[in-house]
Amino acid sequence: MTKSAFIYDPKMTRNILREDHILRPMRLRYVYELLDAYNIFTKDNVLIQSPRLANRDEISSFHQTDYVDAVKDFSSGKNLERQHLYNFSDSGDNPTTTGMYESAALSVGASLVAAETIWNQNTDVAFNAGGGFHHAMPGYAHGFCIFNDIVIAIQEMVAQGARVAYIDIDAHHGDGVQHAFYDTDQVLTISIHESGDYLFPGTGQVEEYGKQSGRGYAINIPLAPGTSDKTYLWAFKTIVPPLVMKFEPDILATQIGIDSHFADPLTHLKITTFGYKKIIEELKSLSPGRWIAFGGGGYDMSAVARSWALAFATMSGVELGPTLPSVFTERYGLQHLYDVETTTTDPESDANPMHIAKKSIQTIQREIFPLHKI
């Protein structure tokens, strides 16, 4: 039976970036409450693991020390006239807030706890829904992300000799993680996302496939707006399993953002909860027995709660009933685990997304597969 850990503490839900900011940490509480309403935490194979604060040295293993110190200053209201040097601004994507250093350090610490429980084989699966900040760069904040908990956790596992396959299904390209491992063959990074031609951060083209010893170990699958479950799953199954199986990782790491959902206000993909669950099942089939998962994007609160509950249940080998528990329904008004209203697709509307996906796939098969002798 799969042993799984859900990394959570109510402190992870409290940092408000700005009252009108679209990233709302409260979404983590909804995921926890829904799983709790399903009684998943009473299962013998499931546990709740408390996070910890990452220390300065751990954070600085990826981030420049001047940046780490600046974030700490901004967090306590000091030196705010310098915030623009690190891509912070009051009205932009990355506002400075009181306590933001501690909040970001807690996210990093939660991912390190997840990595430790996996590496020590205390659990088979660990999910930090409060992590997944894949845009953060060594010296600046980027795309709602302050510290890159994913990179720091993976670096810790690599330092202990692990080969890590990282798969990013967020609608946005995982640029910060790609940047960190672009020149190494110890980490395989795969990002399947809405094309940077249409969406932040504007990167993640197929031609970005690594350098030096990392040549061929950065994989990008850009997709067109309007991509549905069918096209997405076809692209995923065609590219991801052959590369992961050839790589033979010790650990699977995944960023499972759900901003690919058709109701998400920031993106233009058309993934449903049905398709999302199938993607998680595909990821599970690729796990070598140790799997660390991070949260990520997701800005429709209903989609986040339902999808990440589905994801953790799938990781844990638990089947959730399609009708939401009454306690959750009474509290939030939601009734169904899976989408009731879904997008409608027809051959004509699917034609362009499939055409773009095929171009990405053909390029990967032509340029990258031979580097892996596939």
Q: What is the identity of the amino acid at 288?
A: P
Q: Which two tokens stand for residue 211?
A: 């350098």
pLDDT of 169 higher than 70: yes
Mean pLDDT to the nearest integer, 90-94: 85
Q: How confident is the model at residue 351 (pLDDT cuts 50, 70, 90)?
A: confident
> Would you tell me the crossing angle of helices 229-247 and 273-286 to the nearest 10 degrees?
10
- Provide the β-strand partners of residue 189: 166, 218
Q: What is the pLDDT of residue 345?
A: 58
CA angle 67, 72, 75 (to 5 degrees): 125
pLDDT of 16 higher than 70: no
> Would you tell me the crossing angle of helices 273-286 and 301-316 to the nearest 10 degrees?
30
CA angle 127, 169, 124 (to 5 degrees): 30
Q: What is the pLDDT of residue 57?
A: 98
Q: How confident is the model at residue 114 (pLDDT cuts 50, 70, 90)?
A: very high
Quick check: bond before 201 cis, omega within 30? yes
Structure confidence by residue, pLDDT tens digits, 120-144: 999 999 999 999 999 999 999 999 9
pLDDT of 218 higher than 60: yes
Q: Which two tokens stand for residue 174?
A: 């995982």
- Measured in degrees and rounded to the nearest 5, phi and psi for residue 201 equal -95, 10
Q: Which residues of 58-78 are buried (b: 16+ CB within 10 A; e: fewer)?
A: bbbebbeeebbebbbbbbeee
Q: Which two tokens stand for residue 158?
A: 């690599």
Q: How confident is the model at residue 349 (pLDDT cuts 50, 70, 90)?
A: low
pLDDT of 347 higher than 60: no
Distances (CA, A) of 167 to 3, 191, 291, 293, 332: 21, 6, 11, 10, 32
- Distance, in Å, from the CA atom of 187 to the CA atom of 253, rounded to the nearest integer, reads 10
Q: What is the pLDDT of residue 359?
A: 95
CATH no. of 4-372 = 3.40.800.20
Q: What is the pLDDT of residue 238?
A: 98
Lowest-confidence segment of 6-20, 177-191, 357-371 by average pLDDT: 6-20
Task: Outline where the chain has alpha helix (H).
Answer: 27-37, 56-59, 65-75, 100-119, 149-159, 175-180, 229-247, 273-286, 301-316, 326-332, 347-367
Average pLDDT, the chain: 95
pLDDT of 14 higher than 80: no
Are the C-beta atoms of residues 163 and 249 closer than 8 Å to each other? Answer: yes
Q: What is the pLDDT of residue 314?
A: 98
* DSSP characters over 87-123: T--SSSSS---TTHHHHHHHHHHHHHHHHHHHHTTS-
Helix/strand/coil percent split, the chain, to 5: 45, 15, 45
Rg (CA), the chain: 19
Residues with Cβ within 8 Å of 303's Cβ and at least 6 positions away in sequence, in order, are 258, 261, 263, 264, 273
Distances (CA, A) of 52 to 12, 105, 212, 319, 342: 10, 8, 36, 30, 39
Mean pLDDT to the nearest integer, 209-221: 98
Structure confidence by residue, pLDDT tens digits, 307-336: 999 999 999 999 999 999 999 999 999 999
- Provide the β-strand partners of residue 6: 48, 127
Q: What is the pLDDT of residue 19?
A: 66
- Any idea which residues carry the catalytic annotation? 135
CB atoms within 10 A of CB 348: 7
Q: Which residues of 281-294 are buried (b: 16+ CB within 10 A; e: fewer)?
A: ebbbebbeebbbbb
